[in-house]
Amino acid sequence: MIFVSTLEIIPGNTDKALELVKKVVPPEDIKILYFLQMFGKPDFYLIFEAPNEEKAMDFILEFSPFLESSTQLGVPVEEL
């Protein structure tokens, strides 16, 4: 399953958020496809594969102390 997350730095947490995203190590069953810093909002896009929604949620919650997130399930167009 492919997930697309937007991450926005919580005001006052820029240094801690940047430190966190630079050091992120996903669990063995999570594969980061793209982790992009944006010029503008949102601050980051994180596109990753996870075996299910529960594992995806556990992974993305690691960012919650310093970043607000929104995550959607992505479906490749060729699978429609």
* pTM, to two decimals: 0.91
Residue 74, strand partner residues: 2
pLDDT in tens, 4-53: 999 999 999 999 999 999 999 999 999 999 999 999 999 999 999 999 99
CB 66 within 8 A of CB 16: yes
Residue with tokens 């959607």: 72
> pLDDT, tens digit, for every residue of 1-15?
999 999 999 999 999
2-9 β-sheet, strand order: 31-37, 44-49, 2-9, 67-74
Contacts of 80 (CB under 8 A, 6+ apart): none
Check if the beta carbon of residue 32 is closer than 8 Å to that of residue 21. no
CATH class in words for 2-79 = alpha beta
